[in-house]
Chains A and B, each alone.
Chain A
C-alpha cells in the first residue's frame, strides 16, 4: 500500500509540471497583459512608460526566465504578488480558499444526501413512479446549466419569499447563521448537478448488485429488505459511485465560478476568472496549479477509498 501511495505521489509530479507549462504557456499566448488594462485604460500612458513598468514587473524577461522564476516561487511557497492589486497572492488565497472549500463541501454533502437515497429508492422500485421521478430529477440536474438554475433560484426566491441570501460574504466564524444563509442556496444549486450524476450511478450499480448471487442468498435467508439493501448491497454498489464523485469534483470546482458570481461569493472561481480577464499572470498560474494539485490529491484519495470500501482490492 505504501509503495502504491508513493508511486502515485511520484506520478503526480510530471502531471503538475505539465500543468504548470500549459498554464504558463496559455497565459503568454493570450494577447494583452495586466498593464494594458490597468495603465492603458485611459490612453494616456505612453509606450515608454508601459515598457518601464513591464521591466519593473519582470514581464520583459525571456519566457524561460519568467517560468523558472515562477516555479521557484511556487516551490518556495511564495507565489508573489498580484500585478493588478499588489496584494500578496498568499493573502488572496487565504481569503478565497475557505469560501470555495465551504461551498464545495456543502455542495458535496447536499449532493450525496440527496443522491444516494434517491438512487437506492429508484433502483429498489424500478420502473415505478418514484423511479421515474428520481430519473427525471437526475436528468434535469444534468441538463440544467448552473447559471440558469442559479439565476432562477435567486429570482424566484426574491419574488415568492421576498428573501435572498444576504449579499456581502461573512465568514463562518464571524456569523455562522448568516454564513449558512449565504451558502445554502448556492450549495444546493451546485449539489443538484453533482447529485444528478451520482444518483444515476447509484441507481444502476444498486440494480446490478441486487442481482448478484450473494444478495439472492440474503433474500433466501429471509433477511429484511432494508438489511439486504443497505447492509449487503449498498457498500459494494458504492465503489463506482465513489469513482464518479472523484470525477465530479473537477466539475464541481468549475461550477463554483458561475455560482460564486451569481451569489456574490468571493471564492477561488471569481478570483481566477477576474485574474484571467485582467491577465494577472501570477494569480492565474498559482490558482490553476492549486486546483490541479487539489484534483490530483483528491483522485489519490478516491483511489485509496476503494481499498477501504472493498477489501478485495489490493495494490501491489
Chain B
C-alpha cells in the first residue's frame, strides 16, 4: 500500500503493545536508577553553626550577586517593614546604633550594641531621657539633592518625628515625647515612659535614617532612598533587580569591600537554587538538609553555615478570650496532644527547632530542649485526654483553624496538628487556607474564633519587642490575644530593669509563665542553611539575623577572595 508521501506503509512501522511495554519498562528502570541514586536527606553532614571572620586581609572589588525571594513592595522605610525593602535599606542607610556584625561578634549569641551613626549613648537615671552623641564627619551620599552634605543632629530629629507622624513604624517612635538637639552632634530623646531597651529599638533595621530633602521634594520616599550607608542605591527596578554601588565617602573608611551588590528578584525557589549552581548568585538560603546535599552534588566546594533559629515565628494562636480556649486546661490539653518532635523529624528533616517565642539568648545560654518547656509541652496524649475531660470536653469539640502558607512545609504542619488533635482528643479541626491579604486582615483584626496559625514578624528582635510588644494585653501587636495580669506586670517591669542579670531572670519568668499558661502555642520551625560559594568571606549569619534579609547591613563587611 502506498502512502501519501510514498513512504513505507504504516502497518510496517506500527508499534506493538509488546514494544510499548518494553519501552516504558526501560523508562521506568531509568527513573528508578535516578531516584535510587539520591542519598537520603537524613544523611546530611553536619555543618558549623557559626563561621568566624576571615583572618586574611580583606580584598577590595567584585560584584556580589544574590538571587532573592523578596521584592520590595515600596522603598519608603516609613511605609513598610517588609524584608524585601530591608534586605538593602540597611545598606543604603544607617541607624544610630546597631547590633554587632558577624566579624565583630564573639559568637552566635553575641547581642552587644555598637555605635552606627552614634558614637556613644547614655540614659538618665529613670531611663526616660536618652542622649546620643553623633559620629563626627559623617556625610550623606554624594548624590543630589544631598550632594554629600554633613549629617547632623537635626536630621535625626526630623526622621524620628516623621516616623512618629505616619507609617508603620509609628509605634516605636510615638513613644517619644520630645527631641532636643543642643548642638549639631547631640540628640536628646525624651520618652513618655521609661524604657531601658530604647537603644535596642533604634538598632532594629527599620529605624534607618533617611534624607529630609528627598521627603520634602518628593512628598514620599517611594522613588529615592538616599542615606549615609555603605552603598548608594543605583537602580531599583521592581520585580527585576536592585543595584547598590559602593559609596566612596562612607564614614567607615575602606568599607564596603565589594564594588556592587546586585539583588536579583527571583521568586521561585528552584530558580534561586539553579542561579546559585550556575554562579549567578553568590549565596542563597536553603531550608532543608536534602537541599544542601543537592547543591553540594553540583557544587562540592560550597561552604555551608547551619543556622539555628533562636525563636520560632509561627505558632497556634488560640482565641483564648472565648470558650473553649479561655480554659487553661483546654489549652494545656491541646499543647500536650501535639507531637512537635514528629514535625521536626518529618517536615524539617530533623533540622528544626521545637518552637518558642522569646529568643532564648535573652534568658539562657543554650537552646531549650523539650524538657525546658515544662509539663504541658510534653507529648502525652493520655494526660491530654484526661485534662480535656476535666475541662468538660470528654468527647472533644469542633473548631476551626485558618492560615496562610508562608512556606510549603507549613501546610504539612497544619495537617499534622489536625491529625494529632483528632486522634488524641477527638477535636475536629476545620482548616481554611487563605491568601495572604485575607489571612492578614482577619488575623490582625483579632475577632476570629477557634485557632489561627499565628506569627510574630521578623523585622525586630529586641527582647522588648518579643515580650512587651507581643504579649502585653494593651499592645497593638498582641495578636495572640494574651490577657494575663502576671505577663503585663512582668513585661512592664522588664522595660524598667537595666541590670542584665535581672533582665535575664525576668525574661525567664515571662517565658515560664507563657509556657505554664500556654498563652502562645509555638510550633516547630526550620533552621535552614546559608549556602555560599567558597570565594565569599564574612557573610556568616549571627544569632538573630540572616545576612540575606534584615541582617543585610553586615554585608558591608563581606568581601570576595578571588
A→B interface (CB under 8 Å): 30-33, 36-46, 49, 84-87, 95, 124-132, 151, 154-155, 157-159, 162-164, 166-169, 210, 219, 225-226, 228-229, 261-264, 266, 270-271, 274, 277-279
Contacts and interface: CB of A to CB of B under 8 A. Distances in A.
B436 A225 contact: no
B48 interface: no
Nearest to B277: A158
Given A31-B442, A162-B278, A264-B265, A225 B6 contact: yes
Interface string B493-524: 00000000000000000000000000000000
Contacts of A46: 476
Interface in B211-244: 220, 222, 237-241
B366 interface: no
Given A125-B7, A157-B274, A158-B278, 19 more contacts: A36-B444, A40-B441, A44-B170, A45-B167, A45-B168, A85-B238, A87-B222, A127-B13, A129-B15, A154-B268, A159-B298, A164-B275, A168-B240, A168-B265, A226-B5, A261-B267, A264-B240, A264-B268, A271-B239
A278 B73 contact: yes
B154 interface: no
A95 B14 CA distance: 51
A138 B433 CA distance: 35
Contacts, number: 176
Point out which of A31, A151, A157, A219 has the most chain B C-beta atoms below 10 A from its C-beta. Answer: A31
Nearest to A258: B268
Query: 8 closest Cβ contacts across the A-B interface?
Result: A32-B441, A128-B13, A225-B5, A158-B274, A44-B171, A127-B10, A266-B239, A32-B437
A125 B79 CA distance: 64
A31 B274 contact: no
Given A84-B74, A129-B13, A168 B268 contact: no
A36 B4 contact: no
Contacts of B264: 167-168, 264
Nearest to B276: A158
Nearest to A86: B222
Contacts of A45: 167-168, 170
Given A42-B477, A154-B270, A155-B274, A36 B441 contact: yes
B372 interface: no
Contacts of A262: 268, 270-271
Contacts of B426: none
B290 to A, nearest CB: 14
Contact of A229 (B5, B168, B220): B5
Given A31-B442, A32-B441, A261-B268, A43 B280 contact: no
27 contacts: A31-B437, A32-B442, A33-B441, A36-B440, A37-B437, A38-B73, A40-B440, A42-B168, A45-B170, A86-B220, A124-B3, A124-B7, A125-B3, A125-B7, A125-B13, A128-B12, A155-B270, A158-B277, A162-B277, A228-B4, A264-B265, A266-B237, A266-B239, A266-B240, A270-B267, A271-B239, A277-B437
Contacts of B8: 128
A76 B270 CA distance: 42
Interface residues of B, number: 62
A271 B442 CA distance: 25
A11 B163 CA distance: 53
B11 interface: yes
Nearest to A132: B15
Contact of B166 (A43, A49, A157, A277): A49
Nearest to B459: A42
A42 B278 contact: no
Contacts of A261: 267-268
A164 B441 contact: no
A43 B479 contact: yes
B336 interface: no
Contact of B477 (A43, A130, A264): A43
Contacts of A128: 7-8, 10, 12-14
Nearest to B262: A168
A277 B435 contact: yes
A204 to B, nearest CB: 15
Nearest to A262: B268
B442 A41 contact: no
A163 B278 contact: yes
A165 B230 CA distance: 31
Contacts of B262: 168
Contacts of A129: 13, 15
Contacts of A266: 237-240, 265
A166 B240 CA distance: 12
A169 B8 CA distance: 49
Contacts of A228: 4
Contacts of A85: 73-74, 222, 238
Contacts of B67: 167
Nearest to B174: A44
Contacts of A86: 74, 220, 222
Interface string B158-173: 0000000011111100
A109 B294 CA distance: 35
A164 B274 contact: yes
Contacts of B267: 261, 264, 270
A263 B169 contact: no
